[in-house]
Amino acid sequence: MEQVEFIRMKDGTHAEYHFLEKLESDFNKGLPDRILDALNGLSSTLSGYKVDRLQHSLQAAARAQADGADEEMIVGALIHDLGDFLAPYNHSQYAASIIRPYVRGEVTWILHHHGLFQNFYYAHYFGGDRNERDRYKDHPCYKSCVNFCERWDQSSFDPDYPTPGLEHFAPLVHKIFSRKPFDPTVLKDEYPMM
C-alpha cells in the first residue's frame, strides 16, 4: 500500500490505519532533527537585540547548564522561545506544548508561563502590571519559574557570554525528544496550566 483509499476518516480500515501508524512512527523519529532545524531558524527572527533569538536560546541553555540544571530543564531553556516565529503572542504556550510529552510537569509549566513571568522586567513601561505573575504565587512551580526568568531568560542577551553552538546541545535534544511520548515515569508531576 502506498496510500490509503479513504477520503473520510470514518471510512478507514484496520489495515489502512496500521499502515498510517507505521508511517507516522517513522516520521516522528525525525522530531529531534526538526527541533534543531527550527532552533536554527531563530537566527532570523526579532531584530533589535544585541543577540539573535538563536543566540539568546543557546545562552539561556548554557546558563542553565552552568547552574547545574538537569537535562530536561536545559532543553527547556533551549527551546523556550521556539514559538517566536509562528506564535509571537503565545510563544510560551507553543514551546510548552512541544516539550510536554517528553518532560516532567514542572518544565512544561515553566515554559508555558515564562512569557507572563518575563513581564516583570518591562510591563510597567507599557502601563501593565509587572507583578501579574503573583497570581501564581502559591503554585508549586512559581519560584522555579521566577528563577528560570531571572537567571537564564532575562539575562541571556549578552553578546560576550561564552555560548556553545547548537551542536553542543544536539545530543540532549535527541535524548529528550526521542523518549517515549507521555511516559508516566517521566510525567510524574503534571500541573494544570492555568
Helix (H, G, I), strand (E, B) or coil at 71: helix
Helix (H, G, I), strand (E, B) or coil at 114: helix
Residue 176 has pLDDT above 80, yes or no: yes
24 in a structural domain: no
Mean pLDDT, all residues of the chain: 95
pLDDT at 106: 96
CATH code, domain with 65: 1.10.3210.10
19 in a structural domain: no
Residue 136 has pLDDT above 90, yes or no: yes
pLDDT at 45: 80
Crossing angle of helices 166-177 and 31-41, in 10° steps, is: 140
Residue 194 has pLDDT above 70, yes or no: no
The radius of gyration of the chain's CA atoms, rounded to the nearest angstrom, is 19
147 in a structural domain: yes
What residue spans of the chain are helical by DSSP H?
Answer: 14-28, 31-41, 53-66, 71-79, 91-99, 105-118, 142-147, 166-177
Q: Which of 98-112, 142-156, 179-193 has the lowest mean pLDDT?
A: 179-193
- Per-residue pLDDT, averaged over 189-193, amounts to 72
CA distance 38 to 83: 9
pLDDT in tens, 65-115: 999 999 999 999 999 999 998 999 999 999 999 999 999 999 999 999 999
pLDDT at 154: 98
10 in a structural domain: no
Percent with pLDDT over 70 in the chain: 98
18 in a structural domain: no
192 in a structural domain: no
78 in a structural domain: yes
Number of domains present in the structure of the chain? 1
Residue 190 has pLDDT above 80, yes or no: no
Residue 189 has pLDDT above 90, yes or no: no
- Per the structure, the complete domain to which residue 53 belongs is given by 29-177
pLDDT in tens, 14-58: 999 999 999 999 999 999 999 999 999 999 887 899 999 999 999
186 in a structural domain: no
